Amino acid sequence: MSKSHGPSRLVSPGWIIFALAIGAFAIGTTEFATMSLLPYFAKDLGVDAPTAGHAISAYALGVVVGAPVLTVLGARVARRTLLIWLMGAFAVFNALCAWAPSFESLLVLRFLSGLPHGAYFGVAALMAVSLVPLNKRNQAVGRMFLGLTIATIVGVPLANWLGQVAGWRWGFVFVAVAGLLTAGLVGWLAPLSPATKGASPLRELEALKRGQVWLTLAVGSIGFGGLFAVYTYLADTLVEVTQVSPTTVPLVLGLFGVGMTVGSLVVPHFADRAQLPTAMALLVWSAIATGLFTFAAHNIWTISLTVFLIGIGGSLGTVLQTRLMDVARNAQGLAAALNHSAFNLANALGPFLGGLAISHGLGWTSTGWVGSLLALGGLALLMVSIWLERQAAIASN
C-alpha cells in the first residue's frame, strides 16, 4: 500500500475499499433513482415521460464531459484530496437538484451533478487496485462497484419510496447526504497517496492515441445501452403493461440491484482468469435477457426474473474497467475515468432509443428489442477489438 499519513496508515485495504464503495453507492443511487423517479418529476414539472428521459441523458452527458476534463486537470493532485473534492461537488449539485424550480433548471443541474461521477470512479478504481495483488484487480474493482449495485437494492427503492410518500425532491436530498458522508469517510480512511510518479495532463492524454482504448470505450457505450434502454422505462412498463400497483415497483427495481450485486460478486473471479471471454459472455447474456424482457413484461413473476437476469449483465462495467487499464498503459487515470463516460454515453443512448421506440407507437415492451440490439452491437465491437489485438501480436512476433 502506498505510503500514507495519519490514521489511514492503520486501515486495512478492505476498509479503504469500503469507503470508496460508499461513494459508488451515492453515485449509483442518483444515477438509477432518477430513472425510477421519472414518472413523479415528469408529472410535477409538466412534461411527458420521453421528454423527462432527457434528465437522464443530461446527467450522462455531464459524466461524459467531466470524466476526461476533471481527470486530466487533477492528474497531479493526491488521489485522496481529489476524491474528497469530487464528492463534495457531487453532493452540492445533487442538493440543488432538490430545489429545481423547472424542468429546464433540472436539466442544467443534472448535467453539473454528473461532472464528478466518472473522475471519482476512475480515481477510486486506481486506488482500489493499488491496494491488492495484480491477480485480484477485478475483485478489488468489483468490491468497490458493490456500492453501486447495493444502491440499486437499497438506495433506488428508498428514493422511489421517498418519491411516492414525500415527493421526488427528497430523493436528491438523500443522495446529497450520502455524498457528504462519502467525502468524510474517504478523508478519514483513505491513504494520502501522492499522484502517480510522472503524472501530468499530457501523459494522461496519451490514452487517446491508442485504438484499443477507443474500441473498449465503444463496447461500453453501445453494449451497456441495452441495459439502460430497459431500466429507464421499467417503472412505467410495470404500471402500464404488467399493471402492478406503484408500491410493487420498488420491489422489482430492487431485484435488478440484486442481480447486479450477484454479478459483481461472482463475475470478477472469472474475469481475473479470462478477462475477454468473460466480457463476451456477459454481452451475449445481456442480449438474451433484454430480448426476453419483451415477452416477460405481462406477468409479474416473469418480468421480475428477467429484470434480475438483466441486472447480472451490469457486471460488464468491472471487466471493462480493468481492460481499459491494461490497454492504456501509462495513462490509466484517464482511461479508467473514460470507462464511465462510455457507461453514461450508453445511459444517454439507451433511454433516447428506447424513448424513440415508445413514442413511435411500438409500446413500452419495445425497449427489450432495443436493448438486445445494442448488446449485440457491443459484442461485435469487442470481437473486432480482440481480432485486431491478435493481429498486432502476430505482427510483432
230/254: higher pLDDT: 230
The 3-class secondary structure across 331-382, one letter per residue, is: CHHHHHHHHHHHHHHHHHHHHHHHHHHHHHHHCHHHHHHHHHHHHHHHHHHH
Mean pLDDT, range 204-220, rounded to an integer: 80
pLDDT of residue 89 exceeding 90? yes
Average pLDDT over residues 71-91: 86
Tell whether the model's pLDDT for residue 119 goes beyond 60: yes
Q: Residue 162 pLDDT more than 60?
A: yes
The mean pLDDT of the chain is 83
Q: What is the pLDDT of residue 332?
A: 67
* Residue 26 backbone phi and psi in degrees, to 5: -60, -45
| Residue 76 predicted with pLDDT over 80 | no
Residue 233 identity: Y
Confidence class for position 197, pLDDT limits 50, 70, 90: low
User: What is the per-residue pLDDT for 243?
Assistant: 87
Element (H, E) at 164: helix 156-165
Instruction: Give residue-wise pLDDT tens across range 16-25.
Output: 888 899 899 9
pLDDT tens figures, 261-292: 888 888 887 888 888 899 999 999 999 999 99
Which residue segments constitute the domains of the chain, with CATH numbers given? 6-396 (1.20.1250.20)
Note the pLDDT tens digit of each residue in 331-368.
Answer: 667 777 788 778 878 877 888 898 889 888 888 889 99
Cβ-Cβ contacts under 8 Å for 314 (sequence gap 6 or more) = 149, 227, 259, 260, 263, 264
